[in-house]
Amino acid sequence: MKTLKFLILAVLVVSLGVLAAGCTGEKPIGGEKDAHGCLTGAGYSWCEAKGKCLRVWEEPCTSTSAIDTFEECVAAGYPVMESYPRQCRVTGGPTFTEVIGGQMTGALCTAARGHWNECSSRCQLDNAGKPAVACPMMCEALCECGGIAGFGCPEGWTCRTPAGIADALGYCVEEEDDVTRMTAEEALARATARGCAGVGTLTGTPRYSEKTRTWTIDLIPPTPKENCAPVCIVHENTSLVEVNWACISLGN
C-alpha cells in the first residue's frame, strides 16, 4: 500500500514538472520586447524623439517642439481636419491652420509687431459691433492689427478695421496699389480651384462688393441645412477663398 502511494506521488511530481517546463517555454502575451522594453509583437517600437514606446500609426514619432507650421504638422503625420482653411492638430498639443496662398506667415506678422492669431475670424473682425451678423465657427490664421495695443502690419500691407469703432482690432491686407482687379471669371476659377467646389455646387453670377473688395458666389451643398445657405467668398486683395454659412434664426 505504501508502495502504491509512493508511485502515485512520484507521478504527480513528474506531471507538475512537465507542466511547469511547458509554461516557462511559452512567449509572453504581446510578443517579444526590444532593448527598450517595447512590445514589438504588439506593434510598439522605441521613439527616440519622444523617449517612449508607441505605435507609429497611432502617434507619429516626431518631437512636437520641432513643429511650428501647418506644413510641418502635416509632414509629421498628424491628422488634418477638412475645414477651410484646413487645420492640423498635434496630439496633446496645438492646432495649426493652413495659410492660403502663403502671402502671410506668423514670422512675418510677428516681426512687424502684428498679432498672429491661428484661430481668428475675418467675418467677426469685419462685423464687430454688428450683433445681427452670424459668422461661421471656423478658425482662420490672420495677422491681426490695430486695437488698443496698436498692432502693426508688415511692409506692403495695411490694416483693415471696421468703420466707426475706435481702437478696433483688424487684420492685415495687401496694400491696394499692389493689387490687380479681379474679374468675375477669375473669381469663379479661383473659387473652383481652391476648395469651394468641394463644399457644394457653385451657382449663379458672382457678386462684387467694392467696400470689402470681395466676390460672393452662391453654393448648393449636397446636404442642405434648414434656414442656412453657404456662399463662397473670394477676397480680391489677398486671394483668400473661404466658405461662409449664412443662417437665419427663426426664434421660438
Higher pLDDT, 83 or 251: 83
At CA 88, angle to CA 222 and CA 63, rounded to 5? 160
CA dihedral 186, 188, 192, 193 (to 10 degrees): 10
Predicted confidence (pLDDT) at residue 101 exceeds the cutoff of 80: no
Predicted confidence (pLDDT) at residue 129 exceeds the cutoff of 90: no
Q: Which residues face 215 on adjacent strands? A: 208, 234
pLDDT, one tens digit per residue, over 200-243 is 888 888 888 876 778 888 888 888 777 788 888 888 766 678 88
Confidence of residue 18 (pLDDT cuts 50, 70, 90): very low
- Residue 162: cis peptide before it, omega within 30 degrees of 0: no
Which pTM value belongs to this model? 0.36
Q: Which of 149, 98, 140 is nearest to 120 (CA)?
A: 140
Percent of the chain exceeding pLDDT 70 equals 74
Residue found under cell 488634418: 80
